[in-house]
């Protein structure tokens, strides 16, 4: 099916989700006639700098923007640098949306996160719950910066008629993730640590941080990429939409560790949990009811299959992946 000519600029194109979108466009048959997708990284322009952002837009002249660029990190990075996460992400988001407005971009889709929802709230969370209370203390800087994207979207929509909208994914994982040992999200960090322990248990005496009891909804990056491509093309609601597996797919960190052990062929029984370390938010269950009403036939990749594919990719690409 052909579409009107469009140029889609993807910020953060070198990250987990950006590379997943590129993979879907180039290798999974998601490309459409008349579309040009441009995947930019920090090497192409500094989105913290307004003039650099303007130069990037002037070079590529996008009609659409998929805004994925952000300063991100795991639980402990957020706890240590809440101010940095707030200031950097506020600047990036303001620059991108400001320049998109200045250059008359047709549509901007920005990526939020389910971790930004209120901590003290009735579950499951839906799209209307975003501003109904403070986020969890562990990542308040990142959370408030991301919430302000929705405030900016509403302002540009009401004051200038702009089609600026946000998507809210749950915890994303997959090939091309950041597998850093100390500054990554839970699944890639665990994959790397368990992999090293398997190679040399004495050199890498790893314990899982926390009790393993917190619950999470994890979404495979390729599934999220397909949904984001759909939002860029075919979602015209001005309100945000949660992109997530359903409530029944929520699992504990402990069960996620078990599945990673299967993917890496390592005995789960040999791992210990360090309960002296913080667990972070116990749960943040979201509802994907809005998404499923619009796309009732969308099928998510089973967690065990996607984890195995991610583990295999990590082992194969160990020497060159982000770690």
Helix (H) or strand (E) holding 165: strand 163-169
Please identify which of the residues 142, 156, 173, 235 carries the catalytic annotation: 142
Number of H helices, E strands in the chain: 10, 12
Residue 60 bears catalytic tag: no
CA distance 174 to 273: 24
DSSP labels for 173-215?
E-TT----SSSS-HHHHHHHHHHHHHH-TTT----EES-S--E
Strand order in the sheet with 163-169: 35-39, 6-11, 64-67, 107-111, 163-169, 241-243
* CB contact set of 126 (below 8 Å; sequence gap of 6+): 242, 286, 287, 289, 290
**What positions carry a catalytic annotation?**
142
């Amino acid at each position: 099916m052909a579409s009107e000519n469009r140029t889609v600029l993807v910020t953060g194109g070198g990250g987990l989700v950006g590379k997943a979108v590129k993979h879907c466009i180039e290798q999974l048959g998601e490309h459409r006639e008349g579309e040009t997708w441009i995947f930019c990284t920090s090497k192409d322009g500094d989105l913290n700098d307004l003039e650099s952002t303007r130069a990037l837009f002037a070079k590529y002249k996008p009609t659409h923007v998929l805004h994925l660029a952000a300063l991100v990190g795991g639980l402990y990075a957020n706890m240590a640098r809440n101010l940095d996460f707030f200031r950097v992400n506020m600047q990036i988001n303001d620059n991108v949306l400001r320049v998109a407005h200045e250059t008359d971009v047709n549509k901007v889709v920005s990526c939020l996160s389910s971790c930004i929802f209120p901590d003290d709230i009735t579950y499951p969370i839906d799209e209307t719950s975003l501003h109904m209370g403070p986020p969890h203390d562990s990542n308040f800087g990142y959370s408030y910066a991301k919430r302000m994207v929705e405030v900016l979207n509403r302002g540009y929509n009401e004051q200038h008629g702009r089609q600026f909208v946000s998507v809210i994914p749950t915890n994303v994982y997959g090939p091309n993730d950041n597998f850093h040992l100390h500054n990554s999200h839970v699944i890639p960090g665990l994959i790397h640590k368990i992999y090293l322990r398997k190679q040399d248990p004495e050199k890498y005496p790893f314990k899982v941080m926390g009790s393993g009891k917190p619950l999470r909804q994890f979404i495979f990056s390729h599934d999220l990429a397909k949904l984001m491509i759909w939002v860029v093309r075919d979602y015209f609601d001005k309100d945000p939409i949660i992109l997530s597996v359903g409530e029944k797919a929520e699992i504990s960190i402990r069960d996620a560790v078990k599945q990673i052990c299967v993917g890496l062929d390592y005995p789960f029984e040999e791992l210990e949990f360090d309960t002296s370390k913080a667990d972070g938010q116990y749960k943040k269950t979201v509802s994907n009811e809005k998404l499923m009403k619009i796309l009732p036939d969308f099928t998510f990749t089973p967690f065990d299959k996607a984890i195995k594919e991610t583990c295999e990719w990590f082992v194969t690409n160990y020497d060159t992946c982000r770690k």
